[in-house]
Chain A
């Protein structure tokens, strides 16, 4: 009953020529899959009007998902058939000599069978869990839900770090970024011929800023203010840039400094300095750069530009007190011991009332009143003592202060001259004045074993004999002229562990641990520690898999290894021994 066609096909499948062709085609298909980007879930091309032929070709070869294309699957099936037919030939005359062949080729069929079983019955998905969160569902790659039949709770997610951090020196020089290992004493040539050297490293360093006036460089005037009295001293640098306010003595003293190089500028600055400061409400829209300063005028409503919010200050209490969580707030006295304003924030037809405390600007970050608002409110009151400094280059510094009646008093002061702050017992003086201040970080060994290290880097430019040096602290950018340097110090993760509890049918809990390279099997599923992240909350990403074909594939792996070891290692060894025992080869 065997037709000629059947004979042709049978002999084709019996031949190694087919094997050669199939192996080549499979290899070639694999190559294509690594050259054309694979995107298994790419949506169908929007182009219409493609001919039926092209459409069916595309379906068959599916080069964007080539490993799951009908073409590739067919190649694998043909290969399996080829092996099976050839093994029928071998089994017709089985001998001990064919053991190796049988093992190696049976393994191919077993592996392909295991893959098939896995494709048909297997399932996998991802679970993203925050600490404390539970879920009974994993998400498949195509977006559908995989129901586990039990719930998984992430009790805790822990990251263990390596003890030794990885340290590198990152350099941005002349537009080129380079990265070097942090080896002390090593010199590194930079791309333009300059030379960089890591001169020193202090394992635990104490750092402080040295300031000196430069002859060249940016004009960035600053004065060092010292407030003394009542057995205490407080001091700081105050910069002219942006008329920035600096507060001393726990906020009791406010200093602003303006530097002018023309008479006109001086006149403008002086008139700004002598106007009394008012209470302000700073409104910051969360997630944006929008910060608006509103005057505190009770009953007045102000819109916030760029948003739909309207802000109104409703009430003011100089000494805010509220007993427990019930009752209305009241003022315990008339002294501004705990000044607070009640602010109403309106958006459309929704409005929220909240108190802003001048002494506790971060109060609402730590406490919750259950109300939601996207605005950060900061109630800023003028300090008890307000000092304004107006500096006219070449003429001297004018100090403006406000007396008990609120009137401004302006006097020219000398460096080092002490000025009394009313009846408080405090005096203020300008200790130093720099127009082009140069700040250099200095580092010395510290006795504190928890102190961070510091490194000193030397840079010699190409045609320069002089060497400039700079101390760097971890993860803070330092600058040497146009060159930016970063001492990168990172603790790398060593292991991630998810502590989970499984709950079946609402009763009975099992605990388990999932680590990278140590998956956890539970009720037919296997859980893998895939990755993690932090988007405001720490979460663990678990891969969930069920694959009945995997054990079959592993058996196939074992057979393949055994077979190859037998054919290429053991058999030749036995043959050699055989030759020796049977005497000299004939």
Chain B
């Protein structure tokens, strides 16, 4: 199956890229930047082809099973990183981001891969826009999450002892964190609202407090909170990063952890 082949190819390329990042970190070679970016672009292309072939074979958008969503997450995260890199974020941020992508693809390899026929409730054009906007949001928020994690837990002191730039670097992470949410929040909103419109078309109710729906709203509220404290109250640095850090943990829970809640068994969203 072509989609399986290209997925494995992508996986291999991502591992190469990560190795290159690690090597360059230890050897402090900056020149490795371009080849690594190229590797990431190659990896992303392979992933795109994998998704495309699977779409063709399935006859429907490949966004309906856990496996398919994890692959989409890997795709969205790489896309988000490459686009944000053009806006000027440090390219070595790709190391943790690629690490997360590799974890995702590794997790995908453990999941059920067979293409399943589409349930009647999923046969809708809303599926594509709802899922893609959400996962693009997740991808961008992942980059933002890495930035806020670095801000919260990383040391801004350099080994050469010069920390006069510490404030400047902290501000940089803070800005990247904010950029991520600024791009991701509208996407997340589109995902949330298209989900509601779709639910209305399928089940006659745009909001039924289903666990997945409710937790998506919780994530949205927390990021809305972040925007308010940052834009209006002027929160910066660790204070603001903490809010977006929590927000992403909630996103992870919404995506992967809901099935551990007892109420989730009755959720209409159970197939993903």
Chain A residue nearest to B215 in the complex (CB):
A34
Q: Which residue of the partner chain B has the closest CB to A162?
A: B117
Q: How many A-B residue pairs have CB under 8 A?
A: 116
Question: Whole-angstrom distance from the CB of A486 to the nearest CB of chain B?
Answer: 17
Contact of B116 among A24, A166, A496 (CB under 8 A): A166
In whole angstroms, how far apart are the Cα atoms of A115 and B182 in the complex? Answer: 27
Which residue of A has the minimal Cβ distance to B125? Answer: A517
Would you call B193 and A568 a contact (CB within 8 A)?
Answer: no
Stretch at the interface among B31-39, B163-171, B206-214: B206-214
Distance of A553 Cα from B215 Cα, bound (Å): 20
A426 close to B (CB within 8 Å): no
In the docked arrangement, what's the CA distance between A183 and B190, Å? 39
Residue from the list B117, B185, B201, B203 in contact with A492, Cβ < 8 A: B117
Q: Which of A181, A516, A568 contacts B120 (CB 8 A)?
A: A516
Within 8 A of B (CB), among A8-35: 16-17, 19-20, 23-24, 26-27, 30-31, 33-35
CA distance A149 to B237 in the complex (A): 61
Chain A contact-residue range equals 35 or more
Is B201 a contact of A517 with CB atoms below 8 Å?
yes
Contact of B228 with A20 in the complex, beta carbons under 8 Å: yes
- 1/0 per position for B111-148, CB-CB distance to A under 8 A? 01110111111011000000000000000000000000
Once the chains bind, are A553 and B204 in contact (CB under 8 Å)? no
- Determine the distance from Cα of A174 to Cα of B119 in the docked complex, in whole angstroms: 33
Binds A, one of B22-30, B92-100, B150-158, B218-226: B218-226
Are the CB atoms of A20 and B121 closer together than 8 Å? no
With a CB–CB cut-off of 8 A, which chain A residues contact B201?
517-519
**Known contacts A31-B218, A492-B117: does B112 contact A561 (CB below 8 Å)?**
no
Asked if A565 is at the interface of the complex by the 8 Å CB criterion, the answer is yes
A68 to chain B: closest CB distance in Å? 9
Whether A550 lies near B203 (C-beta < 8 A) is: no
Are B221 and A550 in contact, with the CB atoms below 8 A?
Answer: no
Verify B183–A553 contact, CB threshold 8 A: no
Main secondary structure of the interface of B (DSSP, over half): helix
Type the 1/0 row for A520-556, where 1 means its CB is closer than 8 Å to any CB of B.
0000001011100000000000011100001001100
- In the complex, which residue of chain A has the Cβ closest to the Cβ of B229? A20
Chain B residues within 8 Å of A569, by CB: 183, 186
Q: Which one of A35, A564, A572 has the greatest number of beta carbons of chain B within 10 Å? A: A564
Interface flag for B91 (CB, 8 Å) = no
**Contact at B204–A124, with CB atoms within 8 Å?**
yes
Question: Is A494 interfacial (CB-CB < 8 Å)?
Answer: yes
> How far apart are the CA atoms of A164 and B115 in the complex, in Å?
11
CB distance from A32 to the nearest CB of B (A): 10
Chain A 25-66, CB-CB to B under 8 Å as 1, else 0, gives 011001101110110000000000000000000000000000
What separation, in Å, do the CA atoms of A569 and B83 have in the docked complex?
14
Are A27 and B222 also in contact (CB < 8 A) when A181-B114, A494-B118, A528-B202 are? Answer: yes
Is B42 an interface position by the 8 A CB rule? no
Would B261 and A34 count as touching, CB distance under 8 A? yes
Contact of B204 among A30, A181, A496, A543 (CB under 8 A): A543
Q: Are B120 and A493 in contact (CB under 8 A)?
A: yes
Q: How far is the CA of A17 from the CA of B214 in the complex (A)?
A: 24
Q: Does B205 contact A (CB under 8 A)?
A: yes
Q: Is the CB of B123 within 8 A of A495?
A: yes
Contact present for A517 and B123 (CB under 8 Å):
yes
Contact yes or no, A553 B206, CB < 8 A: yes
Contact A166 B117 (CB under 8 A): yes
A20-B229, A516-B120, A517-B123 are known contacts. Are A565 and B202 too (CB-CB below 8 A)? no
A338 nearest CB across to chain B (Å): 50
With CB as the reference atom, state the residue of chain A lying closest to B117: A162
Question: Within the assembled complex, what's the spacing in Å between the Cα atoms of A494 and B183?
Answer: 37
**A67 CA / B207 CA spacing, docked (Å):** 11
Contact A564 B123 (CB under 8 A): no
Are B121 and A37 in contact, CB atoms less than 8 angstroms apart? no
> How far apart sit A543 and B183, CA to CA, in the bound complex (Å)?
38
Are A550 and B200 within 8 A (Cβ)? yes
Q: Digitize B173-212: 1 where CB-to-A-CB distance is under 8 Å, 0 elsewhere.
A: 0000000001101100110010011001111111101010
Known contacts A162-B117, A494-B118; A528/B204 CB under 8 A: yes
CB pair A67 B209 closer than 8 Å:
yes
Which residue of chain B has the shortest Cβ distance to A491 in the bound complex?
B117
A568 to B140 CA separation, bound complex (whole angstroms): 14
Question: Is there a chain B Cβ closer than 8 Å to A316's Cβ?
Answer: no
What residues of chain B have their CB less than 8 Å away from a CB belonging to chain A?
A: 112-114, 116-121, 123-124, 182-183, 185-186, 189-190, 193, 196-197, 200-207, 209, 211, 214-215, 217-218, 221-222, 224-225, 228-229, 232-233, 261-263
A-B contacts, 18 of them at CB < 8 A, read: A27-B225, A34-B214, A34-B215, A35-B261, A181-B114, A183-B114, A495-B120, A495-B123, A516-B202, A519-B204, A545-B204, A545-B205, A557-B197, A560-B193, A561-B190, A561-B193, A564-B185, A569-B186
A residues near B, CB below 8 A? 16-17, 19-20, 23-24, 26-27, 30-31, 33-35, 37-38, 67, 115, 124, 162, 164, 166, 181, 183, 492-496, 515-519, 526, 528-530, 543-545, 550, 553-554, 557, 560-561, 564-565, 568-569, 572
**5 A-B pairs with least C-beta separation:** A516-B120, A564-B186, A162-B117, A528-B204, A543-B204
